[in-house]
Structure 1
Amino acid sequence: MVSLARNRILEALPELERAALWAVAREKKIPSGTEILAANSPFSHVYFPETAVFSLVTDLVEGNSVESGTVGFEGFVGLPVFFGGESSPQRTIVQIPGVACVLTADAFRKIVGSLPSLDALLKRYALAFIAQISQTAACNSQHSILQRCARWILLTHDRVGSNDILLTQEFLAYMLGVRRPSVTVAEADLKSRELIGYSRGRMQVLDRAGLEAISCECHGAVRREFEKLTGAAVG
């Protein structure tokens, strides 16, 4: 039997609805960097992350890319399928390696209509996720790289359940849509303030309160929406 308890949406389901999902779901370990969905490609599967963290990435025609949304244990990857769509304009990649509960898109479509609690929870999650995407767009256009870097560390820290985060400067620059030297400068600033440690692709959060003080208001704004709508304390 698959354990679905580590995902907040599935944890909140009544026992009978969880049992119905257990019948068609499986747990899967997914490595960092795995692209689970190409832009504008049909969903073959949907995901309820447990320990894995996913990034929705928007690619621009000039070749740049930027993260537009983050999904961890609080959420669900496959909202277009839930709302009747087939694909997404964003790519979806695994940001932090870990475990997710996976269903085929066809199995999800067949079962979701018979699970009213799941339907209600996913609608509330979708509202919170829209708030995250909207705030991220504002953040990317208005706030400094240092503020955005601190915010990204915080939202990832919310989801990994550990002060240690597997993260390279190249990947963080990719997620923020900036050049690596800019991230190097921002990380050096945070490290000099003893807010983070960094060595060989591994970051350690040393002072979360300090990161919150440097970050823009975006992390707190999104966190309040998630807490209000889903009960999950994530930004």
Structure 2
Amino acid sequence: MAQVSNLRTSTTGQQVINAKAIAALKAREAEAKLHSKRPVAPRALAGLHGHNPKHNGILAALPAADYDRILPHLEFVEMPFGTTICEAGEQMQHVYFLTNSIVSLLYETADGASSETAVIGYEGVVGHDVFMGGGASLNRAFVKTAGYGFRIKASVLKEEFARGEALQQLLLRFTQALFTQMAHTVACNRHHTIVQQLCRWLLLSLDRLQTNQISMTQDLIASMLGVRRESVTEAARKLQDEGLIHYSRGQITVVDRVGLEDHICECYASIKKVYEGLLPNK
């Protein structure tokens, strides 16, 4: 079985959001408010690839004063596929607010086997150990879908969390949802079929993407589910034969999402319900 730990790449690149970038972001937001009451996606901002911190659900839900206070401390980061943000047992120096990337939290055994305990996307942060007071990370945080995000120094986030204001409440609610996902993942991997597990895995990824395509080899999927590659191959073939997905050379295209949901166990619905109630603006 191929090991996920063999896919590390170079350190994540970063760019500090300077005063000029902050002014441009605020100008875009002010212009959007003048033309429409509905949220408008910001125009491309030089150096940020069109990304805005408010593409992250937690940052978008912050009151204006809290958002303005934290904005100068954010760094724009590129997150290539395969990047290990943090190893298990390490102290995280930054907390990451994701925008369009997806990070997998992996638990690895002493003999090198691994399984995914949770996935995090635009709705949350990577680094809950920092503000929950646990210290060292319990999991390896691995970028399974390339994209971008914004990071903040752990020391700064701790200070913001200690204020006991809106950010603290949002981070606590996210952590509760994350723990719910972890609990259901453990139960699903133990009690449900490989087909059901694969459907859950696919749907949780789709919920965090703006496309119906997922780039992932069967070896990696098997590592994340903690099963044999042959089991994933058989399950993927069943879904493809039913016309629900198309799989070719590490690219999975979901053709019929409703059909996938018909195969799903109760775990996915329970996880989705918790996350739908996570943020005030949802």
**2:101 is matched with which residue: 52, 59, 68?**
52
- One-letter code of the match for 2:152? L
Q: Using the TM superposition, name which of 44-53 and 55-64 deviates more.
A: 55-64
Deviations 1:119-178 (A, max 9, x none): 111111111111111111100100111110011000000001211111111111111011
TM-score, length-scaled by structure 1: 0.94
| 1:73 maps to 2:104 | no
Deviations 1:28-79 (A, max 9, x none): 1111111110011111111011001011101122331100011001111111
- Structure 2 counterpart SS, 1:159: coil
- Which contiguous aligned blocks of 4+ residues in structure 1 show a shift greater than 6 angstroms? none
| 1:94 maps to 2:143 | yes
Residue 208 of structure 1 corresponds to: 257
Deviation at 1:115, TM superposition (A): 6.5
- Structure 2 counterpart SS, 1:73: coil
**2:268 is matched with which residue: 213, 219, 222?**
219
C-alpha distance in structure 2 between counterparts of 1:17 and 1:218, whole Å? 35
Deviation at 1:231, TM superposition (A): 5.9
| 1:37/1:43 contact within 8 Å kept | yes
| 1:66/1:176 contact within 8 Å kept | yes
Deviation at 1:114, TM superposition (A): 3.6
Deviations 1:80-131 (A, max 9, x none): 1111232122111011110111112122223333471111111111111111
- One-letter code of the match for 2:86? L
Deviation at 1:229, TM superposition (A): 3.4
Q: What are the equivalent positions in structure 2 for 1:183-202 lying under 5 Å apart?
A: 183-202=232-251
Distance 1:70 1:214, change over 3 A: same
Residue 229 of structure 2 corresponds to: 180
C-alpha distance in structure 2 between counterparts of 1:19 and 1:232, whole Å? 19
C-alpha distance in structure 2 between counterparts of 1:66 and 1:13, whole Å? 33
Distance 1:199 1:224, change over 3 A: same
Distance 1:99 1:115, change over 3 A: farther
Deviations 1:197-222 (A, max 9, x none): 11221111111111011121111011
Structure 1: runs of 5 or more not aligned: none
| 1:52/1:99 contact within 8 Å kept | yes
Q: What are the equivalent positions in structure 2 for 1:1-235 lying under 5 Å apart?
A: 1=21, 3-114=52-163, 116-230=165-279
Q: How many residues align?
A: 233
C-alpha distance in structure 2 between counterparts of 1:23 and 1:112, whole Å? 16
Distance 1:22 1:224, change over 3 A: same
- One-letter code of the match for 2:96? Y
| 1:17/1:115 contact within 8 Å kept | no
